[in-house]
């Protein structure tokens, strides 16, 4: 396809953006603890500037010490932050990319654990997620806050940035003032639409007074908050007109607040481009450029959005994490070389809110957030690698090693690649996983990986290849619990159901309500089976990312799935099971099929046979310890760049 329209320049105020590709301000938590820009963050943004993005918008940047939403958030509430922002801007400008910074205050959508003090907000109404009661800002404090936004904007201009974005979306402080869902004030900043718009309008005017009329100001707005009593698209259209009159040069249109987070960072359950109708509506209301967002993940979708008038520029969000080189690859026609976002939310938002991780990365692209430390560079000494297993870890290790110049031979016993990752792609809303498998395989072939599918490698066969390095990535298989009656012919594994190898009949019991069991039940429910889940824990889906779980649970409810928690199966007898629930014995009966989904067991029969017989031997992914695909992929890449 011809994607020339994506590479046509466009003006936002006095700033000319060289193309229509935008990296939106996603929190990464890569900043320094003191709020300055870290080298890690500079490396992250440099990779995207180098990748050809026309405009990058630095993530949520605090205008006040009490405004942080994440611990390592950049800050601009003091002149001492200017030098590190200048270093970032100078780095980005070397590639012809424009750089803006998003000015932000979390308001009620944070916690005293992050800031050390009680959050502040327009009204004492807790966030639906953080649930901590905020302190209501006095009228005088509101006017002080207006000044803080203007002061931060001036610092951004002094640091050499090209524009600023005011964060009025996603239920943060400015959005809280705009929305009747969170604003219950009765002074000049609350009540009517006019009064609720006073705070964002005064913020924009204050910024204009301090930075001048020539410095571009973008405003991010939620087209619909998707919560009870929140802003809808009609009010957002009206707000957009008011903001344009106040001096805004562009509108950046998203949706949601923390209470509807599943729509801010949607999983694969939500189709690509799902928010474009909102930017289209805003675009009808204003004459300034409009930036669209919402799972933009393919240039054909982006091209259509611009040509059909839905947006003027497009934020590719998580796709920019999955592949910072996306624009350059589109320009070169290398569409298959683009590492795809699969909307799993595991490495991005999943890691941000994981207290053991806290920094964003990407399942498909483990180099994300580690650009200065992990690089694909030519190997000093070319080696011969043999990789056993074509799951995600093995595939990642194969193509990265081959890209560095190593000779790579990969054995996979199945006739197709993917391993358990491919099985996981079969459940509803998981089909995006197939894109990553195709990408890894394509990149492997591009760099000369010798794929041997349908071959179960034996130790003597591997040794005969005389490899310098062997990587065992043989994955895992379904665990079979030691339950009396487990050999009942009605008992099957979740893998057999997902691959269509067994007919489940009408009534099905799934033993195990983790991710695999819940998704197996989801598939069965979608196809009209009557499903019951028996789970030992107090709840099902505990290992499923929050936004993914929201839509998964909604479907299970739609299918009238029967769920027994705190339930341990003790015995399987013909079409029934005897179980213990909350200390009492129960019997579940009348099932055509009983599905086992209680976890996985490592498959690693080769390590002992190869140990000491090859120069270098590594075991990665589930073959080492059963975990998630993100762990296997990261391990595969890490080993491949060290060899």
**Active site residue ranges:** 172
Give the bridge partners for 159, in sequence order: none
Select from 366, 349, 480 the least CA-distant residue to 29: 349
Task: Could you list the beta-strand ranges (E) of 255-340.
Answer: 290-292, 313-315
Query: How far apart, in whole angstroms, are the C-alpha atoms of residue 219 and residue 197?
Result: 13
Query: How far apart, in whole angstroms, are the C-alpha atoms of residue 516 and residue 532?
Result: 14
Residue 307 burial by CB count (10 A; 0-12/13-18/19+): exposed, middle or buried? exposed
Residue 537 burial by CB count (10 A; 0-12/13-18/19+): exposed, middle or buried? middle
Strands 98-104 and 163-168, by their bridges, are: parallel
CB-based contact 614:624 (threshold 8 Å)? no
Query: How far apart, in whole angstroms, are the C-alpha atoms of residue 412 and residue 249?
Result: 54
Query: How far apart, in whole angstroms, are the C-alpha atoms of residue 445 and residue 152?
Result: 49
Paired tokens of 54: 């026309």
Select from 596, 642, 584 the least CA-distant residue to 618: 642
Select from 274, 315, 273, 349 the least CA-distant residue to 549: 349
Q: What's 174-188 look like in SS3?
A: HHHHHCCCCCCCCCC
* 505 φ, ψ (degrees, to nearest 5): 75, -165
Query: How far apart, in whole angstroms, are the C-alpha atoms of residue 556 and residue 552?
Result: 6
Which residue has 């207006």 as its token pair?
146
103 three-state secondary structure: strand
CB-based contact 291:223 (threshold 8 Å)? no
Task: Could you list the beta-strand ranges (E) of 398-461.
Answer: 407-412, 450-453
Which residue has 């289209």 as its token pair?
280
Query: How far apart, in whole angstroms, are the C-alpha atoms of residue 311 and residue 331?
Result: 20
Angle at alpha carbon of residue 363, lines to 96 and 331, rounded to 5°: 30
Q: How far is CA 277 from CA 223, 290, 294, in A?
A: 9, 12, 10
Angle at alpha carbon of residue 452, lines to 448 and 455, rounded to 5°: 165
Q: How far is CA 266 from CA 172, 332, 349, 562, in A?
A: 18, 29, 10, 26
* 134 φ, ψ (degrees, to nearest 5): -85, 160
Paired tokens of 504: 């489940």
223 three-state secondary structure: coil
Select from 322, 273, 330 the least CA-distant residue to 52: 330
CB-based contact 177:137 (threshold 8 Å)? no
């Amino acid at each position: 396809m011809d994607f020339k329209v994506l590479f046509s320049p466009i003006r936002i105020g006095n700033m000319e953006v060289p193309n229509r590709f935008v990296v939106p301000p996603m929190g990464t938590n890569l900043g320094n603890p003191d709020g300055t820009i870290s080298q890690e963050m500079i490396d992250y943004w440099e990779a995207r500037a180098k990748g050809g993005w026309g405009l990058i918008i630095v993530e949520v940047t605090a205008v006040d010490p009490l405004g942080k939403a994440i611990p390592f958030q950049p800050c601009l509430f003091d002149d001492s932050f200017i030098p590190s922002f200048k270093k970032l801007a100078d780095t980005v400008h070397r590639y012809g990319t424009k750089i803006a910074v998003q000015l932000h205050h979390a308001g009620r959508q944070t916690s005293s654990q992050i800031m050390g003090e009680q959050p502040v907000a327009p009204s004492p109404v807790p966030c639906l997620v953080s649930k901590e009661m905020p302190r209501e800002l006095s009228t005088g404090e509101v006017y002080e806050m207006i000044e803080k936004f203007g002061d931060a904007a001036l610092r951004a201009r002094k640091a050499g940035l090209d524009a600023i974005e005011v964060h009025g979306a996603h239920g943060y402080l400015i959005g809280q003032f705009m929305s009747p869902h969170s604003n219950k004030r009765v002074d000049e900043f609350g009540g009517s639409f006019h009064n609720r718009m006073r705070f964002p309008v005064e913020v924009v005017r204050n910024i204009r007074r301090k930075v001048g009329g020539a410095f571009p100001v973008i405003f991010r707005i939620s087209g619909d908050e998707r919560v009870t009593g929140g802003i809808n698209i009609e009010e957002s259209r009206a707000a957009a007109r008011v903001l344009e009159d106040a001096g805004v040069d562009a509108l950046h249109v998203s949706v949601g607040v923390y209470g509807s987070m599943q729509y801010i960072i949607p999983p694969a359950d939500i189709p690509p481009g799902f928010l474009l109708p909102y930017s289209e509506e805003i675009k009808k209301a204003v004459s300034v450029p409009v930036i669209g967002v919402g799972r933009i993940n393919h240039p054909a979708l982006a091209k259509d959005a611009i040509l059909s008038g839905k947006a003027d520029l497009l934020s590719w969000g998580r796709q920019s994490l999955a592949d910072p080189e996306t624009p350059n690859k589109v320009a070169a026609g290398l569409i298959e070389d683009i590492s795809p976002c699969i909307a799993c939310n595991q490495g991005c938002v999943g890691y941000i809110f994981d207290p053991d991780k806290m920094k964003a990365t990407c399942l498909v692209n483990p180099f994300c957030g580690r650009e200065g430390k992990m690089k694909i560079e030519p190997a000093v000494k070319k080696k011969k690698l043999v990789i056993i297993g074509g799951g995600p870890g093995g595939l990642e290790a194969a193509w990265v090693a081959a890209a560095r110049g190593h000779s790579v031979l990969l054995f996979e016993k199945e006739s197709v690649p993917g391993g358990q990752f491919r099985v996981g792609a079969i459940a509803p809303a998981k089909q995006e996983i197939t894109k990553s498998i195709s990408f890894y395989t394509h990149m492997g072939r591009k760099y000369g990986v010798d794929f041997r599918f349908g071959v179960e490698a034996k130790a003597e066969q591997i040794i005969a290849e005389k490899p310098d390095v062997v990587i065992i990535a043989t994955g895992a298989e379904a665990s079979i619990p030691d339950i009396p009656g487990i050999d009942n012919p009605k008992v099957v594994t979740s893998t057999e159901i997902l691959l269509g190898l067994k007919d489940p009949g009408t009534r099905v019991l799934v033993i195990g309500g983790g991710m695999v069991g819940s998704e197996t039940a989801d598939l069965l429910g979608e196809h009209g089976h009557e499903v019951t889940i028996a789970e030992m824990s107090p709840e099902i889906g505990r290992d499923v990312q929050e936004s993914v779980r929201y839509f998964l649970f909604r479907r299970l409810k739609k299918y009238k799935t029967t769920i027994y928690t705190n339930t341990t199966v003790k015995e399987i007898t013909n079409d029934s099971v005897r179980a213990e629930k909350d200390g009492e014995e129960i019997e579940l009966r009348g099932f055509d099929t009983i599905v086992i989904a209680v976890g996985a067991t490592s498959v690693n029969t080769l390590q002992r046979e190869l140990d000491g017989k090859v120069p270098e031997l590594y075991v990665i992914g589930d073959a080492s310890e059963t975990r998630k695909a993100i762990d296997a992929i990261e391990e595969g890449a890490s080993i491949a760049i060290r060899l």
